[in-house]
Amino acid sequence: MPRFPRRAPTPQLQWLPKWTTTICCVHEQFALEIAELARPPHINEFPAITGNGIWKASELLGRWILSGGAGRLEHRRCVEMGAGLGLAGLAAACCGAHVLLTDLPANLPALVENSRRNSRHVSAAGGTVAVAELDWGVVAAGGDSANKATDMVSSVLGGAAEVILGADISWSSGLCELLLAPILALSVANVREAGWRCTSPMRHAMVGEGKARHQKDLRHSQLTPLQD
């Protein structure tokens, strides 16, 4: 009988502790544990690679939330856009918020795992966490698919989102244009002001035509754009 070469074993996804942080709530009762998905090189590609790590703004936002900087989040309905590993959203849930962590499909396994790792802290605070796909491009395109995506958020949270979280979620003006659509769709009924802060090197990508579009869209939606 012919001998066939033995097939190499399929690479397995493994969870490696990426960051057990010293971030604590006001009473210093716990620390969030965030795991990064160990990925074989051949699947280390966009968009998974951009969401598979702790970005500085996410760490700072998480610390700010847990220190009470965001005020009382207990029982507030929150959605985190481009959640990645879910740090900011999990911090809000540990303050008693009802949180929906959203991202593209490649990043959902990490969100599920990190939700599991911190479920005890979330439950103790009276918060909840759910994970779902939310593609900004689908919402920006409009139509039935866009309506289903935004309706899904309200359905999971049990009402319209009251807080939208995001940290280091856009690295190009094109993505910012897509991001604007779900923000307006989810918050236009409750939000009266919107602002942005551009820092180098993103400042050059956001000024001029791109920023003018943002101002036009915000005014059309009866939101007041805040200048940076």
pLDDT at 79: 93
**Residue whose C-alpha is closest to residue 51's, from 81, 13, 19, 10:** 81
**Within a domain: 215:** no
92: helix, strand or coil: helix
pLDDT confidence of residue 22: 41
Q: Among 94, 40, 36, 107, which residue's Cα sits nearest to residue 66?
A: 94
Residue 134 lies in a domain: yes
For residue 26, the SS3 value is coil
Helix axes 209-220, 173-187, angle to 10 degrees: 10
Rounded Cα distance between 153 and 149, Å, is 7
Q: Which domain holds residue 140?
A: 31-37+46-169
pLDDT for the residue numbered 2: 52
State the total domains in the chain.
1
pTM over 0.85: no
Task: Please report the pLDDT score of residue 15 as a whole number.
Answer: 46
Return the pLDDT at 110: 85
Residue 135 · residue 179 · CB < 8 Å: no
Residues of the chain short of pLDDT 70, as ranges, are 1-30, 36-52, 69-70, 171-174, 188-228
Tell me if 228 is assigned to some domain: no
Q: Does residue 218 fall inside a structural domain?
A: no
Phi and psi at residue 31, to the nearest 5°: -130, 140
